[in-house]
Amino acid sequence: MSAPPPPEPIPGARLLFSLDPAVSHLNHGAFGAVPIGVQRAQQRLRDEMEANPVRFFSRGLTDRIAHARRHLAAFLDADPEGTALVGNTTAGVAVVIQSLGLRPGDEVVSTDHGYGAVALSIARECRRAGATSRVLSVPLTAPDAEVVRILRAGLRPGRTRLLVVDQVSSPTARHLPVAAITAAAREQGVPVLVDAAHVPGMLPVSVREVAADFWVGNLHKWAYAPRGTAVLVVAGPWRERTEPLVVSWEQESGFPARLEWQATLDYTSWLAAPVGLFTLRSLGAQRVRAHNAALAAYGQHVVGDALGVAPTALPDPGGPAAAMRVVPLPDGVATTFDAARALRNRIADRLATEVSVAAWNGRGWLRICGQVYNTPAEYERLAAHLPALLAQR
């Protein structure tokens, strides 16, 4: 089976970004890339802030934040009254975990596809409360029905206080059936937190239809917002129980203002985030998604072929719409966190290519992304040089 053809480029899209042209940026899923127009919009807001800080912070800023929030919530089909802006997905997860009121004997259940910092957050709060963190193993290519069965069987009603699942996982690019998982957990009275860090912008989504108790996603990855922009969506029964990590002047205003107002933060990323959505819509959201998914699939096949991975052995856990793909590395390569990080840095330094490398389930995995600023030649260049670099280990 030959590689799928690369998509036609979107004219002018590369010029929207200020990325270093000497580097192949194949890891958009890590920190995103902010379009120049969005950078300028945020800088104008910073100029306004620095021209009169007292006026900026004390006259109407909470209303401006609420306006931005409503705009972002509409994009995600989320209830704006149940949506709070937060700095990133990890921060949103920490808010939820620490608002649960865990006690000895309680447990938080997650999967082995979870993000490392989220796992650390769960572990810390469980340690503080005398609760337990339990991780369920989900095969990379398990059918959706099997995933739901595994997670349903792994819950213990009365003891499991929260199930944490990724909508699209970071280390494995696995797309989990979160709506079905949420429904199954609800049957057992277990609330669900969906880590949707990679969803806004990459996939069309209706947070209302997912119907999770908590849903948190970044807009600074695939929705072109400035970094530090994420939303935490909380179901009605939980809103008054969801507390900020730091108490500030809007504490008595209730949810969501008490989460959003954190004194002298730089709120310009949130205020400029709607410009990122305008950029996405101007390019054509569906067009961008289709382009990015097709380019990631092309890159996966090209790199996989160079490493001797049969096309049938290339996993497709995210489905055809995913703009992130993984390639299994040779046996013994990058099988630990430290080795994966070292390999990522070697690829960056020697091949001038930014990728993600993760150690998962006893194996090293290379993750590549597709974005409108990428070209097929960048994946082909990685494929041409990566085998020799790996042979030098």
pLDDT digits (tens, 9 = 90+) for 194-226: 999 999 999 999 999 999 999 999 999 999 999
Which stretches of the chain are DSSP H helices? 28-31, 36-51, 53-58, 61-76, 89-99, 116-129, 144-154, 178-187, 207-210, 257-260, 268-283, 285-306, 337-351, 376-391
Band (393; pLDDT cuts 50, 70, 90): low
Res. 128: pLDDT tops 90: yes
3-state secondary structure of 140: coil
Residue range 157-180: mean pLDDT, rounded: 97
Q: Which CATH class is domain 38-278?
A: alpha beta
Both tokens of 130, joined, read 């005398």
Q: Are 231 and 84 spatial neighbours (Cβ–Cβ below 8 Å)?
A: yes
CA distance 72 to 77: 9
pLDDT value, residue 312 = 87
Q: How far is CA 263 from CA 88, 162, 246, in A?
A: 17, 30, 10
Domain range annotation of the chain: 13-31+284-391, 38-278
Convert the pLDDT of each residue in 80-116 to its tens digit. 999 999 999 999 999 999 999 999 999 999 999 999 9
Q: Closest Cα to residue 382, out of 334, 346, 358?
A: 346
Q: Give the chain's largest Cα–Cα span.
A: 63
Interatomic CA distance for residues 99 and 238, integer angstroms: 9
Q: Report the DSSP beta bridge partners of residue 193.
A: 164, 214
% helix, strand, coil for the chain, step of 5: 45, 15, 40
Q: What's at 112, amino acid-wise?
A: D
How confident is the model over 345-384, as pLDDT tens digits? 999 999 999 999 999 999 999 999 999 999 999 999 999 9
- pLDDT tier for residue 315 given thresholds of 50, 70 and 90: confident
Q: Does domain 13-31+284-391 have CATH number 3.40.50.300?
A: no
Start-to-end CA distance of the chain, whole Å, equals 30
- pLDDT level of residue 73 (50, 70, 90 thresholds): very high
- Look at residues 118, 76, 60 and name the one whose alpha carbon lies nearest to residue 277: 76
Average the pLDDT over 312-334 and give the result: 90
pLDDT of residue 1: 53
Neighbours of 237 (CB within 10 A): 9
pTM of the model: 0.96
Residue 263 has pLDDT above 90, yes or no: no
Give CA–CA dist 307/321, Å, rounded: 24
For residue 178, give the nearest of 203, 201, 158 by alpha carbon. Answer: 203
| Spatial separation of the C-alpha atoms in residues 276 and 254, rounded to whole Å | 28
Tell me the mean pLDDT in the region 305-328: 90
For the ranges 22-26, 173-177, 316-320, the lowest mean pLDDT is seen at: 316-320
Those residues with Cβ within 8 angstroms of residue 362's Cβ, 6 or more apart along the chain or in another chain: 335
Token reading at 266: 């730089």
Mean of the pLDDT values across residues 289-297? 97
User: How far is Cα 154 from Cα 185, in angstroms, rounded to an integer?
Assistant: 10
Mean pLDDT, the chain, rounded, equals 96
